[in-house]
Every structure is written in structure tokens, then in C-alpha cells.
Amino acid sequence: MPSFRVSELQKDIIKTLAYADIFDYPLKDEEIFKWLISSSDIPLTSFKKTLKEMTGKGVLDQQGDYYCLPGKEKNLKTRQARTKFSQVKLILAQKAAQKLSWLPTLKMVGITGALAMGNCEEDDDIDFIIITTANRLWFSRLILYLISPVLGIKRRKPGDKSAKDKVCFNLFLEENHLRIVPETLFLAHEICQIKPLLNKDNIYEKFLWENRWTKKFLPNCVKISSKFKSLSRVCQGRQSSKLRMKYLISFLENLAFRLQHQYMKRKITSEKVSLYQAFFHPKDVSGEVLRKYQENLKFLGLDNSK
């Protein structure tokens, strides 16, 4: 850390680059501003002025258009290589989402994780988030698994030794249960970096509204509008118009949930599964990421983080 007094904005910039460093991910100036870890809105003019001052004093290192912490310059080549791998995987993801677009119970298909940030390694899989209509999550999941081979979508299965370019449906939400908890910097990042490939009835915007708590960590990252807050209630009203159909659908959805949960129960480790949400991450990396983040801050002389 520099010997001069560090302002709150300078701390925020350093924290942002310290978090990105965990993923070997140097940032451009507009990316630092977008992903700025801060508790308040920062004017763009103040940000640019401060960033220039920090670079001039050697607090940060600049390599072309990219910024990183001193001594982390080698990560630029890593990011450039991963960008190329990600471009190939993005095309595959877009094709898969297009093949799934005809399914009436799917409201959104999006990419998450490393691919959403353009930071994939060559052998990585393709992580998808799926949002379904109300009371259709487990029925939709069953259909997805059955038709993926027919549609030519290579799905990653549990125990696969090779994951390269395979689609992993690792996050399912139904439209009336979109809020993700707990409220942590890691999950705020994961939520805000999601990129929708299929977005029906503005469900992505509704998803952002339901997770507006992310603004406490990343105030500049995504635009969130309150005009989308009532979308799910509208959809729910339409689906409830015929009681008989509603009860039949509810019965089939519960049956699909019980059958699939019974099948996977013995294999569940850190996965989080309920009737309305399913997180299929066999390894929960959030704790490890936040631990490394704290270590980076401590090394840099910053002991106050989110």
C-alpha cells in the first residue's frame, strides 16, 4: 500500500481489483467503475480522476487498457487467452438457448459464472440459469433432461470426467421465487454478471428487481427498475384462472419434485434444493472466494470489506 492517505474511493477501487485478482482478471477502467465495490454511488468524473491519480502514483499498474494491482501484470495474458475460449463457448450457449426457446414453461435461459464474465478456461463447461413459469420448475427440469439429447445439446452429467463445452443446468428458479440469499458480495457478483440469452416477459428485469439488495455491494453494476416488481403477480393470476388446471399442474409438479429429489437425495452434497429453487453446485466456492478476498485486503492493508 502507498504511504499517502487513502481516500474511500481509492479503497473501493483497490477492493474491486483485489476481488477481480482472485479470478486472474485485470479490468478496464469502465469495468472497474461497473464492478466498483462501494456502499455509495460515485460520480464517473470523480472516479476517472482518482483512477488516473492512483496509476500515476504507482498504486495500480496499467497495461494498455487494463488495470491491475502491482505485480499482477501476468494476468493480462491469462485474461486474453480466456476471452478467446469464452467466445467459442458463448456461441455454443446461444445455440443451445435457441433450441430451448420453444419450451413454453421456460421464461429465461442465461449464462452464469466464468462464461458470463468471458473468463472461461479451455476445458470449462457452460453454466446455465433457468427460470420457469410458476409451479413448473421440476416438470421443466425433467423435460429439459429428456429432450437435451434429442436437440443435440451436450449436457454435463454427474461424474463426467470431461466437461469441456457441455451445458450444465446448475441453477433453477421459478418466477415467483426469484430472490437469492444470503446477501454476500460473492452472490451479488454472481447475480449481476448473469447474461440472459432468452428473456420472456421481462423476467430478467423482474429477477434483478427481486435481488435489488445487490446494490448494497455493487451500486453501478446493473440498472434495476421498480416497474417490473409486479410481473410475477400478473403471471400468477393468469395461471390461477382455471382451478382444475391449477390443481392438476400442482399435483404433477409436486410429483416431479418428489421423484427427482428421491433420485438425487443420496448424491446431494452442498446443493440446495427446494420446490421453488434448485442450486446444483456440487462444490460451494463462495466461502473460498470470500476468504481469498479478505486475504488480499489484509495483504494490501485494508481490513474493512463487505
Q: Where are the domains of the chain?
A: 8-73, 87-284
pLDDT digits (tens, 9 = 90+) for 70-89: 999 999 999 999 999 999 99
3-state secondary structure of 13: helix
DSSP string over 75-143: HHHHHHHHHHHHHHHHHHHHHHHHHHTT-TTEEEEEE-HHHHTT---TT--EEEEEEE-TT-HHHHHHH
> Is 80 exceeded by the pLDDT of residue 211?
yes
Helix 203-210 to helix 231-239 angle (10° resolution) is: 120
Q: What's the mean pLDDT in 108-120? A: 97
Class of domain 8-73 as given by CATH:
mainly alpha
300 or 106, greater pLDDT: 106
pLDDT digits (tens, 9 = 90+) for 150-182: 999 999 887 778 889 999 999 999 999 999 999
pLDDT digits (tens, 9 = 90+) for 213-234: 999 999 999 988 887 776 544 4
Left (φ > 0), alpha (ψ -120 to 50) or beta: where does 250 sit?
alpha
Q: What's the mean pLDDT in 176-191? A: 96
pLDDT digits (tens, 9 = 90+) for 17-61: 999 999 999 999 999 999 999 988 889 999 999 999 999 999 999
Average the pLDDT over each of 167-171, 203-207, 258-262 and give the range with the smallest value: 258-262
**Cβ pair 253, 231 in contact under 8 A:** no
What pLDDT, on a 0 to 100 scale, did the predictor assign at position 18?
Answer: 97
Give the Å distances, CA to CA, from 5 to 38, 59, 99, 300, 301. Answer: 18, 12, 55, 14, 12
Phi, psi of 7, deg, nearest 5: -80, 170
> By C-alpha distance, which of 251, 295, 257, 292 is closest to 278?
257
Q: What's the mean pLDDT in 248-266? A: 75
All residues at 6 or more sequence positions from 285 whose CB lies less than 8 Å from its CB, including other chains:
none
C-alpha cell at 304: 474493512
| pTM assigned to the model | 0.88
Q: What's the mean pLDDT in 84-103? A: 97
What pLDDT, on a 0 to 100 scale, did the predictor assign at position 202?
Answer: 95
What pLDDT, on a 0 to 100 scale, did the predictor assign at position 3?
Answer: 44
What pLDDT, on a 0 to 100 scale, did the predictor assign at position 24?
Answer: 96
CA distance 117 to 28: 13
Q: What's the mean pLDDT in 93-97? A: 97
Q: Which of 224-228, 240-244, 260-264 has the highest mean pLDDT?
A: 224-228
DSSP string over 40-54: S---HHHHHHHHHHH
Average pLDDT, the chain: 88
What pLDDT, on a 0 to 100 scale, did the predictor assign at position 305?
Answer: 46
Assign 122 a pLDDT band (cuts: 50, 70, 90): very high
